[in-house]
Amino acid sequence: MRFAGLHVPTEWIAAHGLQPERVLPSADEGCHCAAGACQVAAQLPAGPLIVTTQCDQLRRSQHDGFLLDVPAAWQSPSALRLWREELERLSRWLVRQGGSAPDRAKLVATADHHDRVRSDLRTNPRPERIAAWLCDGREDAAPAPTTGGIPIAVLGGPLPRGGDGWFAACAAAGLRVALDGSEAGERGLAPPLDRRLLHEDPLQAIAEAHLAMPDPGRRPDTALHEWVAAAVADRGLRGIIVRCDPFCDQWQLQADRLRHWAPLLVVESGEHPARRATRLEAFAEMLAC
């Protein structure tokens, strides 16, 4: 079952007997999150697409499928209740698409497996390994740790498969991506499930974890900044790159506040590779001083 969006619970799809498949944007579209995602979806085998309301461009684009309403306010009981009702509505739709409603034991087992995989990925946070799990459900072996380079974070929306040259460009400039904050990176890993609640009410545990994921559209946006601040302290990050898609106001508006945690560079997707390389090299030189 194809989907595009940060908060879609993959374990909820898998528990219905369907294979979750994240749709990432193509590299040659103006808005990666909308037109690019739908273009890639159109090239895949026929089938519906789950999208979320987090992005105006994506939810208003042409797609055949399900629109999942993700509450912007995430801390109130009413928001959590609305979110759970949305997941129940998604369940009914998944059943109509050929899935089967999971029983309690299957849901607990599926959610437990996904939670343990995410925990392992956070322990060995390699971008290619995380992307393989978040996009295709592949549990690849942990590659050797990358050494050398100035440790930085890359934040932003979904990157095309392969990173669209971003990781290679950072490495060439002497930067090491120690935190991949793109949608198919560490930011796409839901927080640990409440283990007690998982056995008492597995859907509630899934709902709580996925609603609390760090995202610039949350109100308040404390989850995003607490997550970035913790990564800067724990991993010794020297800088932050915010990779914005054109017309994406959410990340543009976050830039000034994110500067509080580390020196920051804003780069729009679609910049000419030579210009991007020059800016990354200049950023690396500044961080090295």
Q: Which of 6-10, 27-31, 257-261 has the lowest mean pLDDT?
A: 27-31
User: What is the DSSP annotation of 66-116?
Assistant: EEE---SB-SSHHHHHHHHHHHHHHHHHHHHTT--PPPHHHHHHHHHHHHH
Instruction: Determine the pLDDT at residue 39.
Output: 53
pTM: 0.90
By CB atoms closer than 10 A (0-12, 13-18, 19+), residue 232 is buried
pLDDT of residue 114 exceeding 60, the answer is yes
Span 192-218, pLDDT tens digits: 999 999 999 999 999 999 999 999 988
Instruction: Determine the pLDDT at residue 192.
Output: 97
> What pLDDT band is residue 228 in, cutting at 50, 70 and 90?
very high
Instruction: Determine the pLDDT at residue 252.
Output: 86
3-state SS class at 262: coil
- From residue 52, alpha-carbon distances to 57, 206, 243, 286 in Å are 11, 17, 21, 38
CATH number of the CATH domain containing 229: 3.40.50.11900
Span 240-256, pLDDT tens digits: 999 987 777 788 889 99
Quote the number of domains for the chain. 1
Determine the residue type at 183.
E
Which has the closest alpha carbon to 74: 183, 195, 211?
Answer: 211
Token reading at 151: 């440790």
| Domain with 215 in it | 2-288
Instruction: Determine the pLDDT at residue 117.
Output: 97
